[in-house]
Structure 1
Amino acid sequence: MAFKRNVPLQAGTLLVAEPYLGDLSFHRKVVLICEHSASHTFGLILNQKHDTILEPFLEGQSLEDIPLFSGGPVDPSILQFLHKRPDLISGGVRIVDDLYWAGDFNEAIDAIVNEKINFDEIKFFIGYSGWDGGQLEREIDSNSWHLAKVQPKYVFDTPFADLWRQVLQDLGGDYRVLATYPDDPSLN
């Protein structure tokens, strides 16, 4: 199959794992690049739900059932969030229209407590995905990742279990074939 790298590697780019990527941390994962420079790349896995909720990470707050996602295998003590409400959460970094990374954490929690923000407008992550300068480019050149442009619907509206296939389907062409690959090729 012929794949082209027609999306620049920058904040707002999605990394879509090749179907048989050997690294189990990224098996069929979609990573949103939040920051990219010559020295490093920082991203968050969008489609890996964590087995716990946010409450244990909040000091003195009692909030139940806030979903938590695993942003990646690096430093699971770091809490990050994506949102689309800069009117309620100051200090966020704009990734694309209607998608912001981070911001004032206390304002985010207050907006949740006061029911001013819904969980289709904010998503929390522990850990992150990171690459040293040039490392990710080498992985892309070896066809470990396919690139796509992020759309806020991928972060907030698409069910996380369907995200990998949905992004490939939306890319069209040969990518649609990749979306149909079984997890275990011996079952094909």
Structure 2
Amino acid sequence: MPKKNAPLELKPGMLLVSEPFLEDPSFHRSVVLLCEHSSSHSFGLVLNQRQEIVLDSYMDEKVMEDVPLYSGGPVDPTIMQFIHRRPDLIPDGIEIGEGIFWSGDFERAIELVVGGEIGFEEIKFFIGYSGWGAGQLDREVKSNAWMLHPAKAEYVFDEPTMNLWRKVLFDKGGDYRVLSTYPDDPNLN
């Protein structure tokens, strides 16, 4: 693993970037947006695992058939959450990074999507989440399972999901740029 330039701290608004050969299939080449981190637990949403299903699979409204869903992680796929960058339109969200808001008034968010007032470059819906118990995520970071990088709204909302893992590592610079080029199958190297 590349040496870390400056220590980054685990806190809401950080990205967890999986190391290239992480064996857990739930997190293969994933980028997780950390939403909460405390001494008792950590919680985040995988940003780059878009699902084949759409939001109308979970809701009665057929108008939601074009709304993409992302897998937030392997924990409790019955829970739906969202992140957005429109606090001016969606009240009660929690700012977890500059221009990145988690949750808020769900009914209002749905109204805005249905009415075409918010586009998919401004909001993402997730089923499930990524969770860690007390100290677990700290240990995983120390063992180099995850690399940390500050989240930017551009990563969260604008970067195509298939490019996100590579883009974040490339932007970290240095030896991380080399990691960003690793093929999925190391035998192809």
For normalisation by structure 1, the TM-score amounts to 0.97
Who is 2:143 aligned against?
142
Q: Write the letter of the residue equivalent to 2:86.
A: R
**Separation (CA, whole Å) in 2 of partners of 1:81 and 1:112:** 12
Q: CA-to-partner distance for each residue in 1:128-153, whole Å, 9 max, x for gaps?
A: 00000100111111110100000000
Aligned equivalent of 1:157:
158
CA distance in 1, matches of 2:134, 2:119: 36
Provide the residue aligned with 1:2 in structure 2: 2
What is the total number of aligned residue pairs between the two structures? 188
- Following superposition, the deviation at residue 60 of structure 1 comes to 4.4
**What amino acid maps onto 2:178 in structure 1?**
V
Letter in 2 for 1:32: L
Bigger mean CA deviation after superposition, 90-99 or 169-178: 90-99
**1:39 and 2:11 correspond:** no
Please state whether the residue corresponding to 1:162 is helix, strand or coil: helix
Contact 2:94 2:103 in 1 (8 A): yes
**Partner of 2:21 in structure 1?**
20
Match of 1:100 in 2: 101
Unmatched 5+ stretches in structure 2? none
Q: Residues 6-51 of structure 1, C-alpha deviation per residue, up to 9 Å, x if partnerless?
A: 2110000100000001111101000000000000000000000112
Partners in 2 of 1:89 and 1:54 — Cα distance? 18
The list of structure 1 runs, each at least 4 consecutive aligned residues, that deviate by more than 2 angstroms after superposition, is 59-62
Q: Distance in 2 between matches of 1:62 and 1:80?
A: 19
